[in-house]
Amino acid sequence: IAFSSFYQAKEKFKKELKIEGFLYSDLSVLASDIPYFPPEEEEENLEDGIHLVVCVHGLDGNSADLRLVKTFIELGLPGGKLDFLMSERNQTDTFADFDTMTDRLLDEIIQHIQLFNLSISRISFIGHSLGNVIIRSVLTRPRFRYYLNKLHTFLSLSGPHLGTLYNNSTLVSTGLWLMQKLKKSGSLLQLTFRDNTDLRKCFLYQLSQKTGLQYFKNVVLVASPQDRYVPFHSARIEMCKSALKDRHTGPVYAEMINNLLQPVVGAKDCTLIRHDVFHVLPNTANTLIGRAAHIAVLDSELFLEKFFLVAGLNYFK
């Protein structure tokens, strides 16, 4: 009787949410059934190469930001021949322009591989917020061309792939404008498409014209409508109502979306997955301004454990 009541309540809740998807509790099979701490771990055979996972933090972040993400992947996939590079080269200056931060991250990756003499079989990237744009920029560099055929998964956590245009939070938009003025930030200028009077010459538009995402086996976009820092549609790389109504910027916005998604859709070995996340958040100022949801993808153990057990681990097997 209790189970029947729960099932009915759950179905009623789903109807009220009006979501075009499914809840994690609907799944009968988990992404991994390996225990977190297996009784015995066999000696790792690294002859076939390792799976390098590069984790890149966001604005004003540091190399420890994605530590829980790393922890739950390692717990769920013991003996997975994983090597994590927790990027730190940009943590002292995330307000630089994207080209500068791209150079730093690219140097860091190549030096890491050379320093430890790694034999790479696969490379995956996990980015948070602004870090996702730096990752995409690295993919376009000639020095990274050798590794393109080794790309496996790109896990984008709240990434501003379309910038921060059409942000429905005036408070956040004003805050970012002030921060850009105070810090003289090249990256914030580029995220708001104010780095050139011609929108098609702006960094983000030109980045959308370059190849990159289609080389991955999995492109996973995680977004939350509760996040006010990065617009929901930007993290999902999709059109929004405001852009449709905007006759000046809207068409350029649509071109950018098409530039990004067309190669991915056309690549037979690449799968695009979108995950929409709804966090249970306390009534605090951080929640009100949308910051809590923006960082919950990094510090919510409840979310991270469920996400990786239900789906996330599949992308790193």
Specify the higher pLDDT residue, 271 or 169.
Answer: 271
Residues 148-154 have a mean pLDDT of 98
Specify the higher pLDDT residue, 145 or 184.
Answer: 145
Residue 20: pLDDT band (50, 70, 90) is confident
The angle formed by the CA atoms of residues 272, 273 and 275, to the nearest 5 degrees, is 155
Residues 285-291 have a mean pLDDT of 66
Lowest mean pLDDT among 33-47, 52-66, 67-81, 271-285: 33-47
Residues 158-175 have a mean pLDDT of 78
Q: What is the model's pLDDT at position 180?
A: 59
Residue 176 has pLDDT above 70, yes or no: no
Residue type, 127: G
Q: What is the model's pLDDT at position 280?
A: 86
Residues 144-150 have a mean pLDDT of 97
Q: What is the pLDDT of residues 27-46, one digit of tens each?
A: 778 888 777 776 555 555 55
Average pLDDT, the chain: 89
CA 89, CA 243: separation in Å to the nearest integer?
Answer: 35
- Please report where in the chains the tokens 């109504």 appear, as a residue: 245
The answer, as to whether pTM is greater than 0.85, is: yes
Q: What sign does the dihedral 125-131-132-138 (CA atoms) show?
A: negative
Pick the closest to residue 301 from 54, 27, 22, 72 (CA basis).
72
- Write out the H or E segment, with its range, that includes residue 205: helix 203-208
